[in-house]
Chain A
Amino acid sequence: MQREEKQLDSALEALIVRVNDLKTAIGGMLFKLEHEYETLNWPNFLDNFALMSGHLSALSKLLSHDKMPNLRNLTVLPLLLSPERDEELLRLTEGRVPTFAHDLVPDYLRTRPEPEVEHRNLQMEHKAANQSYETAQKQISAYTKVVSQVLDIVSKAREDWESEGTRSATGQTSSVADTHTLVAAISMGKGLKVMVPPVQGGPQGMMVAPQVGRPGGSGPQQQGGGPMNPGQGPMGPMGKAPGTIKTNIKAATQIHPYGR
């Protein structure tokens, strides 16, 4: 911030020097016009113009310089207006502005629009004042219609956008219960075992049993009511089987001819 202020100060100083150069050049030319008009020759007069044009180009070069702060973005603000005569101001302006008052400041500091703009504004106001009441009403209603239509479009877009936002925010896209159902199904077969027909388990169990000493193997007639029974639910093999295993192990080893 401070660096910027310093930059602005130095830029303004340089600007003042250039403007003063230009002013003296113009002043010199005016002096010559008034006092030496009898001896003044044309090439000499043109030299003056060349001098002024040189000063002007130096000024514009300075304004377009990289380090020049953008003056367009800055505002000159009159802080205090006074109708009394200000000697200091008179000296600074070389006797041109005696007071810093309401009638002069708007023009000097451009706190009111340029005359051209002001003129056009006045024309508009005049036109508006001469408008008949009906046409004015008509135009107002047309304008309101357009504005309300635009408002509709905007608020509709906003509604869409917000509902989309809340939908994803509330997490409606996934359900913990479904995750649990799916994971339990693929890892333990929960909810899937019911679909396996008992017929399928039967022959498999028979072949299996002797080798591993499975309880089911001791008799195929038990297999039907074993873990594959759909009525017992998916927990069957893991939850209930151990109980039967214990009681059946003996029987299996005793009965089976190929027991180890």
Chain B
Amino acid sequence: MIENVSQPVSTATESLNAARNIIPNQEYLLQGSVMDSAVEVLLHRLRGLCDNVDSGPEPFYDHEMCFSIRGAGSMQPLLLRVRRALDYQDMPWQLRYIGQPEIGDKSRPTIVRNSIDIGTSATVVEFLTELGCRMDFEYIVRGYMFRKGRMKITVSKIFKSGQGKPLDNMEALSQSYLVELSVLAPSGQDAIAEDMRSFAEQLRPLVQLEKVDCKRLQHVP
């Protein structure tokens, strides 16, 4: 009987450990930007390079809110991101945790960071607030998404958004579009990073996709 009871417990732990190797919880990431004047050229090039050639780029229009919660002992606040599609209001919202990015040395082609996301209902904001999270900042992101195998490429414009401000009167953050190349994969699949490096090469010199260390950016005025 005892064995019978302990059996499922150990297998559950094992299967959880096994699942950890399957769940794509590592995000490989490269970032860059393209000026407004050249974005058309980039979109054209991406249309040619990526998988969704016939369907064209997929537009998206999202609102992202970043919540933070300060753990009891740690100095670093825990960041949680909530995203909702403004163009498809009835779609589920998304809650996402992004871990500290690992920049690594030069031999590593991309940033690697933990990423866990889940679909939620619209009450997630209320839920987080009740948990003790506080909204740190929010923004509107609007752009296009491309696919190339497992790689995801987004070209998007970041807008400042404030509560009560009309959405059609948004202020763009800069004169450039943010370009991100990312892959979600289970841990230990570093080979995909090489594919990303070679894909990024094909977008040069239009866009310089690099590992951007945001920790260093914190201290830049």
A binding-site residues for B, Cβ under 8 Å: 168-169, 171-176, 178-193, 195-197, 200-201, 204-205, 207-209, 211-214, 234-235, 237-238, 242, 245
- Summarize A's interface: helix, strand, loop or mixed: helix
Q: In the bound complex, what is the Cα–Cα distance between A174 and B151 (angstroms)? A: 21
Q: Is the CB of B162 within 8 A of A195?
A: yes
From B37, B131, B137, B174, contact of A182 by CB (8 A): B174
Closest to B218 in A: A188
Q: Is the CB of A175 within 8 A of B35?
A: yes
Residues of B within 8 A of A214 (CB): 70, 132
For B, the interface residue count at a CB cutoff of 8 angstroms equals: 52
Residues of A within 8 A of B178 (CB): 179, 182-183, 186
B binding-site residues for A, Cβ under 8 Å: 31-35, 37-38, 41-42, 64, 66, 68-72, 75, 77, 129-139, 141, 158, 160-165, 173-176, 178, 205-208, 210, 212, 214, 217-218, 220
Residues of B within 8 A of A176 (CB): 208
Q: In the bound complex, what is the Cα–Cα distance between A209 and B129 (angstroms)? A: 10
Q: Is the CB of B77 within 8 A of A237?
A: yes
Q: Is the CB of A195 within 8 A of B214?
A: no
Residue among B66, B75, B137 with the most chain A CB within 10 A? B137
Residues of B within 8 A of A192 (CB): 137-139, 160, 173
13 examples of A-B residue contacts, CB within 8 angstroms:
A173-B41, A174-B34, A174-B205, A174-B207, A175-B176, A178-B174, A182-B33, A183-B217, A184-B218, A189-B136, A193-B137, A204-B134, A237-B68
Residues of B within 8 A of A208 (CB): 129, 132-134
Closest to B38 in A: A173
19 additional A-B pairs beyond A186-B141, A238-B218, beta carbons within 8 Å, are: A169-B205, A173-B34, A174-B207, A181-B174, A181-B176, A183-B214, A184-B218, A185-B173, A186-B158, A186-B178, A189-B66, A192-B160, A196-B137, A196-B138, A196-B163, A197-B163, A211-B131, A235-B218, A238-B77
